Structure 1
């Protein structure tokens, strides 16, 4: 859209920015936008790129019309030469004819328009007296769009799409012809600045009839979306009104904006169609990056799917049970040897299988719960989105969901502890406990020896061992044995407290490491694909806003 006061350079730059935005829409749209619209957008970009590289000093004006409208006669009348053949009974324009005012620089443009060399004509300077105002005009006489030949020849349709200005030549009998209005006029609604309507053959009507036809045509065009139709009445036979048409063409040529205006009109129309199928929703756009709360929520859900709390609890219980074999008071331990499986003492129900799985070094993820976690993340991000983008975010979130359970299982299997590992302090404590046992047993032997030789005097000990048979040592030996037992009990109680604390710390460490690994897997396999799709969504709608200008 060109605003009053803008220079051609500013207008061209503004169009360039909008076309760049449309390029991003075409790049980001596959799978989200109707392929037909993307194809049309690509074609417009190619057409705009070609036209903007060609002569900006020339304005391409196409005379279009149906059979018998007299456009070839009007073409000859404007050019002042009999360049295009005319006929009485049938249309005779089979190929487009071009008349150029100012040939310099027009060659590449005519090549792009695919005008055959033998159908190109240049107004010689000697013939241009009084016509300098048309310098830069390339006037095309198109084949009749409704002729029998036109059914197999799309030349007229092609040139109507690329001309800078389209002049529709209508006759009094068929100015309301449905084929013209349905196929072209309605489709080009919004192109007011680059469309002119000529009611030709005005010499066949009385002034009152001509005025009535013009009013009726104006009303028809406005109902079809042409807000400010430009209507010129002409007679190619008498020449009446031809100068008025030339004035309209001269004004268009002199402003050198028709090419830009045509591309802007095409872009406006395409933008409106894009806006209908891909509305810029009123809901606030989703963040380009997933916030910490959703990251934590996804990690929590995946931890539940893997069973991290259950695995941590199982590990803590197994840690505690196994510690009894090393740090428990040996006498209590020996009393429990009749129990074959220490897991039976846990009474953990279904957790026993998880404990055994953990002991075996494997952790499994539940695919259904993993899928639910991913679905919850996608649903939370896509509220208010267009359905196509909702599906895109969900597809991105699930893009690697088939591999996710296996990857989670493999990652967590690596971090699952080897429960046959024995902490060094357990071994030291076991040595200390057995040392106390040996001291207690030694005390028992001393007491027995003192009773046998010192109290009951069953014999005489060698002189070197007399101290062990002295009955007077019994109180002291008893005190030592009680001290050893007390020290053993205190050691057992203290070690159990340390084991409980150690088991809790081991559980926390395991769960933190499992959460860290699950978060890392979720980041690479779920969050990153989703963030790429969200960035694509935000960039797409940013381009949509830019292409509107």
Structure 2
């Protein structure tokens, strides 16, 4: 037995169909997927079997004379004929060149008692048919479901099908609707035998042949091969044998049948999911959409609000450290606005702000994800569009909580006191002390000049008092000025801290959105691209 060698084009197309089946699972119509899977299995089995034999099936309805034609071609009375319905209940096979056909006949599920071999003594004059396996199928319109199923199965498995039609039912609607309309692209592996031509006059036969050709062309058979035959008179039998022997001699019918089956299936898949719809679809999420999603999620989880709170709280806390002490001391006699804001645990407050924002804006998170899916799936087939949306929402339940946890992790330790605040505070208290010393000097010099000890005569020197007063005022001004400058420095630092916080939060939001939204969407886009690439390869 010799296995069949496929030309590179067929092998590549079968490989492409394998990818279409794999990538189309859950996307492509289940019936098409089942047919594609069945075709792949059938192709794999047929290509492993004998390439030296061509399987030709005689198919037809009850009363078409199919079995009589089978006997006429074989030259033996092998298949029973009669008027009982159905005439043929089981498939009969006649083999020209029996060696190596066992596995092929087993694959076709032909019972051994219905296998017949044309012995060499009987093959005189039929050498051109060597390698032929001729099948007489059960009537496809049989009232027996078993026979009907067997006929359908073998029609799909045969390398070449000869449809046997009779003058009365050659245009039978059920036959054409069920079988003939499926033959588009199968011209090379389909023959129509207009049997019982002996019942017609020459003019009637010519008119009927023309009518049948026109009918077949209207149904998609571009180049129909019609052979008038008569099992009674032998008319056209040799012509039909020549057509069959030509297919047998080329040893290409099996390949042509698979190519035709692939072409028909490819057309149906392309009609279901047109190639043109894939042209505008992106293969990945572009940077602009990534940034747009990250920005939308940042807004949804309240990153700007957290930044505002952080900056305000940071500046307010600094008052306790770098503000000019005197206003702060006087402020203790007023009610403390910080207590009403409950800012004692600032870190916790900021975390609560972030958490509340995420929880409250779950709908906006969903809207941001939806917007991304809408943007990248424009122009896609509705099935793939739905798949992209499903991929985008694959982590919808976990996304808000993940964002919440990540933002809480970066809430700044706002109770931390920078080192320069401490230095500035020491400087300000030095000025406070200098101001107190100046006031004391003035008080002593003005009110107790005679009571100053000799060692501290300078304190009672009236000429020095103006200068002491001037320095005291200068210290007071310097302290106030340093307080204002310190507040400015703090506000600048708070702005920088806010920028750092928002930058870190946006980085984390972008990382979460990439992992939980963008990557699943890109996986679906890659699958979509690979599916249509395979579909283009399938079309050859």
- The change in CA–CA distance for 1:172 and 1:142 in structure 2 (over 3 A counts) is same
Query: Which segment is superposed worse, 112-121 or 213-222?
Result: 213-222
Question: Residue 433 of structure 1 aligns with which residue?
Answer: 428
Q: Report the equivalent of 2:336.
A: 340
The within-5 A match list for 1:276-355 is 276-281=271-276, 284-337=279-332, 338-342=334-338
Q: Which residue pairs with 2:492 in the alignment? A: 501
Distance 1:460 1:173, change over 3 A: closer
Larger deviation, residues 521-530 vs 30-39: 30-39
User: CA 1:476/1:90 → structure 2, altered by over 3 Å: closer, same or farther?
Assistant: closer
Q: Counterpart of 1:226?
A: 221
Is the contact between residue 378 and residue 393 of structure 1 (CA under 8 Å) also seen in structure 2?
yes
Name the CA distance, whole Å, in 1 between partners of 2:152 and 2:519: 47
Of 31, 52, 64, 1:57 maps to 52
2:475 to 474, 484, 488: 484
What RMSD, in angstroms, separates the aligned Cα atoms of the two structures? 2.4
CA distance in 1, matches of 2:507, 2:62: 77
CA displacement, residues 29-85 of structure 1 (integer Å, 9 cap, x when unaligned): 123221111111111111111111111221100011111222212112211222222
TM-fit CA distance, 1:404: 1.1
Structure 1 match to 2:259: 264
Residue correspondences, number: 531
C-alpha change, 1:536 and 1:93, in structure 2 (3 Å) is same
1:4 aligned residue: none
Shift of 1:303: 1.1
**Matched position secondary structure for 2:162:** strand
Q: Which runs of 5+ in 2 are unaligned?
A: none
SS in 2 for 1:166: strand
Please tell me whether residue 421 in structure 1 is matched to residue 416 in structure 2: yes
Per-residue CA deviation, residues 423-468 of structure 1 (Å, 9 max, x unaligned), is: 12112211221122122222323333333442xx2x463x555554
In the other structure, the counterpart of 2:183 is 188
Question: CA 1:413–1:361 in structure 2 vs 1: closer, same or farther (change >3 Å)?
Answer: farther
- Which residue pairs with 1:47 in the alignment? 42
Deviates more, 1:443-452 or 1:158-167: 443-452
Shift of 1:161: 0.9
Provide the rounded CA distance (Å) in 1 between the counterparts of 2:21 and 2:85: 44
1:273 counterpart residue number: 268
Q: Which is worse superposed, 32-41 or 11-20?
A: 11-20
- Given that 1:144 and 1:150 are in contact with CA atoms closer than 8 Å, whether structure 2 keeps it comes out as no
Written as runs of structure 1 = structure 2, the 5 A alignment for 1:465-476 is 465-476=456-467
The separation in 2 between residues aligned to 1:208 and 1:258, in whole angstroms, is: 34
Q: CA deviation at 1:238?
A: 2.4
2:350 aligned with 1:358: yes
After TM superposition, give the deviation of residue 369 of structure 1 in Å. 1.1
TM-score, normalised via structure 1 length? 0.91
Change beyond 3 A, Cα 1:318–1:342: same
Does the Cα contact within 8 Å between 1:314 and 1:355 map onto a contact in 2? no
Q: Give 1:214 shift.
A: 1.8
Tell me: CA distance 1:430–1:213, structure 2 relative to 1, closer, same or farther (3 Å). Answer: same
- Tell me by how many angstroms 1:390 deviates: 1.4
Tell me, in whole angstroms, the C-alpha distance in 1 between the residues paired with 2:209 and 2:467: 134
Is this contact kept in 1: 2:54–2:159, CA < 8 A? Answer: yes
Q: Equivalents in 1 of 2:279, 2:240: separation in Å? A: 51
CA–CA distance in 2 between the matches of 1:226 and 1:284?
31
